[in-house]
Structure 1
Amino acid sequence: MSAPSIGVLALQGDVREHTAALHAAGAVAVPVRRPQELAAVDGLVLPGGESTTMAKLADRFGLLGPLRAAVAGGLPVYGSCAGMIMLADRVLDAPADQQTLGGLDVTVRRNAFGRQVDSFESEVAIAGVEGGPVHAVFIRAPWVEAAGADVQVLGRVEGGPADGRIVAVRQGRLVATSFHPELTGDPRVHALFVELVQAARAEDLSSTGAAVGAGSEEKS
């Protein structure tokens, strides 16, 4: 199977860093700013940045509705930091005009770790990522306050005042982290997402083939 095409929402945030990390993980990374560009990718990354700004820009570019439809339709999506907030069904400490895409049955608290001056780095073990903990960079980061029964917790903070807080989750084809793996030069989190996209693409192709086969039998 050819390398998957994974879009990076290129409205605001660390687009270049995610693009480089996806390339390092074996994907073809492309910017997404328009609905037609979204329709052409196998998966999507929602980068870190400012979640309220990204949602407003997505609305202005006519992308907010298509993004919600894509998530609901099963497009694999990975959100880091602000991207996690955009995927959350519920957001605490959000401004009144905060809009999200939804899809993740989680309650996320914005800026849970504090302001810019409270940014920090830590080692976080991530389920499904081999080779030891990943070096995680937290910048005005959210955390998951509560997760639904269908949400798999992939990683938690270990030690310090935030010990045990959830910072990485997966639900079906959606993955989110509070931290910024794209800033560390370690592509393992992105590789995990690329594998998810490849598996989803194979599943969709298999389903399409089965549907075509069933249609042919009905006509024969």
Structure 2
Amino acid sequence: MTDIGQGAVRYGGFAVGVGLLGGLFDTYAPRAGNMASNIALFFVSVLTVYYSLQAHLSDAEIKPRFGAAFGFNLLTGLGVVVGLLFLIVPGVMLFTRWAVGLPALLRENLGVSEAMERSGTLTAGNRWRILGLGLLIWGPFLIVMVAVGGLSAAFAGEDSLDGLIFNIVVNLAAGGATILSSICWTQAYLTLSQADESGRSLEQIFA
């Protein structure tokens, strides 16, 4: 994808920053580590969507809008978690329904509920493809993390799972997956918001 190549230095910096910040907190201040990592990932996701939109649009009104983005992520995150508690499927469907809401919120100057509704409209008929894209992004991340954790415990002992290097690697991978997913959802939004909203158009994301 051209967005990743054009912003390689910026996005690489984001990922390294998340890795170092999250790794340090998880190692030396574990009680605050999870919160610090989530905050860092939130800012990275919003900035990635913002810069990805800017790479394709000249609209000067596109802004990060962290407050509105926080409200959107909070409500949709809670909705997905609650949905996952009810046999998993509802949470998965809500995730696919709201996948492109953040870029819609930033580009179209929408409120939180409006962005949720807009995303639902755009993703209708394409949610299986969006789910597949999400699995392609986060599936390998989970597999790699399990493998790295297993190898680290096997060769360096279980104590290594609380070490700085392991924590940096985990947070670096989480940052990379977050950046990649944010770019993909932005690309999906841009594709679906065009006149052609057929399922075939979404396949352009993989080109």
Name the TM-score, length of structure 1 as normaliser: 0.30
Higher normalized contact order (CA 8 Å, seq sep 6+, divided by chain length): 2
